[in-house]
């Protein structure tokens, strides 16, 4: 089973849909959501879904050490950026390079992935290709 961490900054609808659509039936578990915004709606959605949500400031995310330690402790295989507005750099890229997926629609246009939106795109990425991995 793939253990996936979702990074979110806003309302959390993408995170909620990923968990609902790709959960155990696709061999995925979502043990943690990382959020850089204490006022984001994703906190309430995570609580409703029973998924742990953890805050890291943008500085902590840029430094990466504490975030990487937590993700390693959780046995995370893949990071999904689901409406995440922070910057991914340094240790996160070193530890998870090739295992970060951005599901922001602007990213799709660069890859000419016609008809590939939201959970359909995530499912395609998880099951068939590395084209969407950072």
> Residue 94 and residue 49: Cα distance in Å, rounded?
30
Split at pLDDT 50, 70, 90, the class of 129 is very low
Q: What is the token pair recorded at 42? A: 């994703």
**What would the pLDDT profile of 9-51 be if each residue is shown by its tens digit?**
999 999 999 998 887 778 899 999 999 999 999 999 999 999 9
What's the predicted TM-score (pTM) here? 0.79
Contact criterion met (CB below 8 Å) for 46 and 18: no
Q: What is the largest CA-CA distance in the chain?
A: 37
**What would the pLDDT profile of 40-94 be if each residue is shown by its tens digit?**
999 999 999 999 999 999 999 999 999 999 999 999 999 999 989 888 888 999 9
> Residue 27 and residue 115: Cα distance in Å, rounded?
23
Active site residues per annotation: 104
**What would the pLDDT profile of 82-112 be if each residue is shown by its tens digit?**
989 888 888 999 999 899 998 865 444 444 4
Neighbouring C-beta atoms of residue 59, cutoff 10 Å: 8
């Amino acid at each position: 089973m793939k253990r996936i961490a979702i990074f979110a900054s806003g309302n959390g609808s993408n995170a909620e849909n990923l968990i609902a659509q790709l959960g155990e039936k696709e061999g995925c578990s979502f043990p943690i959501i990382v959020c850089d915004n204490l006022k984001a709606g994703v906190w309430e959605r995570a609580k409703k879904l029973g998924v742990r949500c953890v805050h890291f400031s943008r500085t902590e995310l840029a430094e990466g050490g504490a975030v990487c330690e937590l993700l390693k402790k959780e046995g995370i295989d893949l990071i999904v950026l689901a409406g995440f507005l922070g910057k991914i750099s340094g240790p996160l890229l070193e530890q998870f390079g090739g295992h970060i997926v951005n599901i922001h629609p602007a990213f799709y246009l660069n890859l000419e992935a016609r008809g590939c939106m939201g959970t359909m795109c995530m499912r395609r990425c998880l099951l068939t290709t590395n084209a969407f991995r950072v």
